[in-house]
Structure 1
């Protein structure tokens, strides 16, 4: 659990921030400099951060694993350890918690774009991250918010997200993490707890289907 506290602290120092300490996305890397996302199974070690900043998918995942996913994952891992399961299942528990947290975060990120236009929305959410990666010219709106995110033209960014592929990419991102969480869940013994967790995943999947 002490490593989860470390992760929470590290999340506060990941990437850019405005002068009020609100998180800002990093400037997107050119396509040729982006690296493919990899699976993280390091329960106690710090997350590998090389090449993360500026890569939409990797930065988003790192930010939310550190802020929430690692805590859920390590709690799942600790519960399995206390129950006397084999070490291999401890890692699976960690991965399940991380993927479940990331699937839920993608779900939350999409909520801002499923109803009336909000006055503000997360600047580090997946829909905008993917949109900025496709259209780096939009980063000028992020630059305008370095003093305060209140100075960001949210309407312009909102319209850009709706016009681009960021929403569909976020839905695909959510589906991927749901599938990975389900795959990990299949490695656990069949029981009521596993069924309940699977039902949560299915409900989340159906909401944005």
Structure 2
């Protein structure tokens, strides 16, 4: 593995001695699968160290926005949803408690990239920064995190078209949907207010296009009757004209194209960039604009994009193995399997034509019977190498190593699920 050789060479040179992932046995478990409890402990260790580097506990990024009268009034009504299994309850739990799939990682990465890039001290007064991060960059990290939070809260709405299906819980679920709309709208509106407070038109444009991409991702491709995304019918290999290269495109313009749908990895990359990579990458790029570091803007955007990609691979693989009866049909395991063996798509199209739920368990074993996870492992190695190489362009060592450690932890745990 190229990236492992690179990292070990850095370790032997002494440059990574203090922060190396290999100084603790927990981060070198490439084969055996640990418990979820141990996994969460490891992740908290990595996050805690990263928070110490940026001098800011990112769990408070949420609290600063949530402890106010508007959200407090909404929280009172949340109690009425207990027992209804409304998705908003799970979103609220993740928001307050935190998890690897949660948004705290988005704000923390923005802060780490800000710290890793540094800034010219003579361009800013002492009261404009703390612990090597500008106050404006901290505000941007909060905005990016809460913009994605508001969007995900909106996505937790329940489809109530079939009133009879929900029976006595219909009114409670409808009430929950109203709270979803109000809470998500409040957070997004507050984001725009704070974004204007940065008084930087370029950053405002950049982050606004990130929100545009999030919405675009919600309408990409086909959907089922419950509005869940479905993979596109795979194209014949000889009809593929080009592959999606997100690093070279103009990120202020519309990302990608529908021509990449049905092309396996290209379709998955486009979905990931729209739903997470764009906003995280643009948050990191915006932090460079605020620090007046134009030479690092593109590197920051690309680094953020690769971090979002490796994160999504982890979430897809974990979801597939932990929830074999309800995983995402547009996740990397299913998408890669369909591209290799188009016959796997039959499980999905038949269910759609017959207007019945997909047989997830049968599809699960069909995917396991392909080489999808071999391709995912190769893709994972490529993304890890890209993160390490791109992060080396940032001069501040402790923050740079923290970014690499976070990525390596995600990489290691993804392999644990696969192997």
Sort the Cα spacing of 1:71 and 1:148 in 2 relative to 1 into closer, same or farther, 3 A: farther
Sort the Cα spacing of 1:50 and 1:152 in 2 relative to 1 into closer, same or farther, 3 A: closer
Matched, 1:103 2:329: no
Aligned to 1:126: 332
Matched, 1:29 2:223: no
- State how far apart, in whole Å, the 1-side matches of 2:355 and 2:267 are: 19
Count, aligned residues: 207
1:175-190 → structure 2 map (5 Å cutoff)? 175-190=381-396
- Picking from 68, 74, 90, the partner of 2:276 is 68
Please state whether the residue corresponding to 1:20 is helix, strand or coil.
Answer: coil
Segment drifting more, 18-27 vs 146-155: 146-155
Q: CA deviation at 1:169?
A: 1.1
- State how far apart, in whole Å, the 1-side matches of 2:256 and 2:214 are: 15
Q: Deviations over 1:43-94 (max 9, x none)?
A: 31211315311001111011011001101000000111111112x3111111
Preserved contact between residue 306 and residue 387 of structure 2 (Cα < 8 Å): yes
Aligned to 2:375: 169
Query: For structure 1, which runs of at least 5 residues remain unmatched after alignment?
Result: none
Matched, 1:5 2:211: yes
Segment drifting more, 173-182 vs 101-110: 173-182
1:112-151 → structure 2 map (5 Å cutoff)? 112-114=319-321, 118-146=324-352, 151=357
The normalised TM-score by structure 2 is 0.47
Preserved contact between residue 110 and residue 170 of structure 1 (Cα < 8 Å): no
Preserved contact between residue 19 and residue 147 of structure 1 (Cα < 8 Å): no
Segment drifting more, 166-175 vs 40-49: 40-49
Q: How well do the aligned residues superpose, as a CA RMSD in angstroms?
A: 2.0
- State how far apart, in whole Å, the 2-side matches of 1:140 and 1:66 are: 26
Aligned to 2:407: 201
Segment drifting more, 3-12 vs 133-142: 133-142
Aligned to 2:301: 94
Aligned to 2:149: none
Aligned to 2:19: none
Aligned to 2:173: none
- State how far apart, in whole Å, the 2-side matches of 1:13 and 1:30 are: 24
Preserved contact between residue 7 and residue 67 of structure 1 (Cα < 8 Å): yes
- Picking from 77, 82, 85, the partner of 2:290 is 82
Sort the Cα spacing of 1:81 and 1:149 in 2 relative to 1 into closer, same or farther, 3 A: farther
Q: Deviations over 1:81-122 (max 9, x none)?
A: 111112x3111111111110011111111113445x622111
Preserved contact between residue 96 and residue 184 of structure 1 (Cα < 8 Å): yes
Aligned to 2:255: 47
